[in-house]
Structure 1
């Protein structure tokens, strides 16, 4: 039964994740955190951050890890197949037929209509992450980090993986506040 739930959850994600990985992230969150409660918001946030630092498609990486976490090797294989199968089938079927009608008005309209939906799903997920950060760090630090990260990503065109890697290293190696309160003794 668990394998069937894993397959259905990730098959829905594969079928409805229009626009690739970024469009799939809110769907994965909905299935994994809200519907099946296979992980917490915090675990999902950590997994998403780590997945963004690794190469490859985000939806496949998330499916593989979550499937493995839930049901081991077979869960991983099941989730990855369920995520990629719709894409493979749809690419073969749709690309063959849509290439001949891509300039038809209703096809262009259909594609244009989906973009705001995906954008809004990403905006909701962004707000959830921002709100979580606010609860953990406070408004001021969250706002400052958000503006700084926006500038680095948008204006300086720094890759998100580099930023996430730097933040992970900072979290690992930052000075311990207790160390300074105890007078600097490390042993």
Structure 2
């Protein structure tokens, strides 16, 4: 029981003090896991950090899940994940509750309305970066054709974006496998 309490305390502290997201909480997790509770050494922590960076999703919850499991089994994993996300959940509930109470004020509505164009600009910038990278990899012609094709599939056929992404991922893996087979065949024949 003391071990589960320590797991909760370690990840709750790093979750509540790690303002700014995952990268800001990594040093806090290190301090708790390596220095305070001595659950692993610095090298092991570095390995876990490297592995967590390769997987999708928030780094703090991935590290919490693995370290919690390693220290306290499945209960420790759930405990650590809940402890790391609980501060964010509480903060969001308080934020939304306070916004609902003061949303009738004009200055609050203005702040909320100002967020929409900022998010739009950020999404536009991200889209532009994706288009530049695609153009670099595929060329201008293929990029335009792919963009139009995706627009048609999404807007006119109402295909869910996750399906489109999955199809393109599968196509990329198949294409890569074909290219690897061609390279291996050339190596075998000496061409």
| C-alpha contact (below 8 Å) 2:102/2:108 kept by paired residues | yes
Q: Give the equivalent residue in structure 2 for 1:55.
A: none
Q: Aligned to 1:176, which of 175, 178, 181?
A: 178
Deviation at 1:11, TM superposition (A): 3.9
Look up the match of 1:127: 128
Quote the residue 2:103 is aligned against: 102
Bigger Rg, which one: 2
Structure 1: which 5+ residue stretches go unaligned? 1-5, 15-37, 48-60, 183-187
Change (3 A) 1:172 1:96: closer
Select the structure with the greater relative contact order (CA < 8 A; seq sep ≥ 6): 1
CA 159–64 in structure 1, closer or farther in 2 if over 3 Å, else same: farther
Work out the CA distance in 1 between the residues paired with 2:162 and 2:61: 20
User: Are 1:165 and 2:166 counterparts?
Assistant: yes
Q: CA deviation at 1:67?
A: 5.5
Could you say what the CA RMSD is over the residues aligned between the two structures, in angstroms? 4.2
Distance in 2 separating the partners of 1:88 and 1:66: 13
Equivalent pairs, count = 135
- Which stretch shifts more, 160-169 or 93-102? 93-102
Paired position in structure 1 for 2:66:
73
Q: How many Å separate the matches in 1 of 2:123 and 2:82?
A: 22
Q: Taking structure 1 as reference, are residues 91 and 7 closer, same or farther at Cα in structure 2, changes over 3 Å only?
A: closer
Q: Distance in 1 between matches of 2:152 and 2:60?
A: 31
Normalization by structure 2: what TM-score? 0.52
Q: Which runs of 5+ in 2 are unaligned?
A: 1-13, 23-48, 69-76, 186-191
SS across alignment from 1:113: helix
Cα deviation 1:34-92 (Å, max 9, x = unaligned): xxxx99xxx99xx7xxxxxxxxxxxxx52149965xx99349x899976x456413322
Q: 1:81 to 1:136 in 2, by over 3 A?
A: farther
